Amino acid sequence: MVFDKILLLAVLEIAVFLLGYAIGRRVGKKEGITEGMSILPLDWRRQLNETSICPLCSQQLNTNKNCDKIHNRD
Amino acid sequence: MLHEISKVYLLRKILCIFLTGLVIKIMDDYIDQDIDVLKKESNLYIALEYGGLPYGLLLLSLAIILDFPTALSLFFSSFAVGMAGVQSAKMPSGLYGFQESLLVVFFGIFLFKYEMLSSLFIIVTIQLWDDFLDYENDKISKKNFAFLLGKVECLLLAIIFFLLTVYFDYIKAISSIIAMHIIVYIIKLLLGNEKQSEHGA
């Protein structure tokens, strides 16, 4: 009788834990995607500035050509 | 005297569960034979060739002789769990898979009451546990509860259903899990040897 009660209590506890885990994981996944999408453009820009390689097409920027319009002005 | 009777009853029940487990494995392999051929996995039904159906029926008959409610409730439960996933295709009976599944569950509960509930729970446990273990192998087909629910959810649900089975019938719960592993091991040994001899020849 005591064993049965302990069993049912364990089932209830695991069920509550499962519910919390399942809801938390799904909500966390959605939040993670939104956060990732907002960070992604900034991160791409950082990568491009640091490596001079486009993170989308992996093409290297033409570093020999001087495109600086401010300093090349006559 | 009573002590001896209970021992015999226990033995009969355990043997009955083992035999029904074999029948369920044969039935499962019969349904999955095309997928197993594509995946090049071992399949009991293909290995038995034309003997699959007669052996299955014979084993089920023996299991029913040993313990009628346990054998039939386990078989009904495996049928119901197997059919529950089929939601779009109509079966030869004209009903959808889940409708057949519901009918079998209601019929089983009407006939066997708590025996059916414990059988249903242990079959669901085995299904979830099997899906949890096959997570890596089923990545292509994705017909797996571990994909639908998540890996941890699948494991926790399996634990919950196992504890519920223990609550209703602890002998069935423990012997079913042991029988499942024994059956998988025996099939691995038999079909593994067969494969080796094929390669040798």
pLDDT tens per residue, range B30-67:
888 888 788 777 778 888 888 889 999 999 999 999 99
Q: Which of B123, B107, B121, B114 is nearest to B20 (CA)?
A: B123
Would you state the structure tokens that stand for residue B40, as one six-digit string? 């090049």
Q: Which residues on A lie below 8 Å from B150 (Cβ)?
A: 22, 25
Q: Does the pTM exceed 0.90?
A: no
What's the CA dihedral at A53, A54, A59, A64 to 10 degrees?
A: -50
Question: How many Å is the maximal CA-CA distance in chain B?
Answer: 56
Helices B114-133 and B68-84 pack at an angle, to 10 degrees, of: 50
Q: Which domain holds residue B34?
A: 2-200
Count of the separate structural domains present in chain B: 1
Of B150, B160, B167, the CB nearest to A14: B160
What is the helix, strand, coil percentage profile of chain A, to 5? 70, 5, 30
Max CA separation in chain A (angstroms): 95
Q: B159 with A7: CB under 8 angstroms? A: no
Which member of A10, A17, A22 has the closest CB to residue B150? A22
Instruction: Taking residues B82-94, report their average pLDDT.
Output: 81
Nearest CA in chain A to B167: A4
Contact B86, B31 (CB under 8 A): no
Map tokens 């600086």 to a residue.
Answer: A68
**CA B165, B101, B52: angle at the middle one, nearest 5?**
85
| Residue range A12-63, pLDDT digits in tens | 999 999 999 999 999 999 999 999 999 999 999 999 888 888 888 888 876 6
DSSP assigned state of B141: T
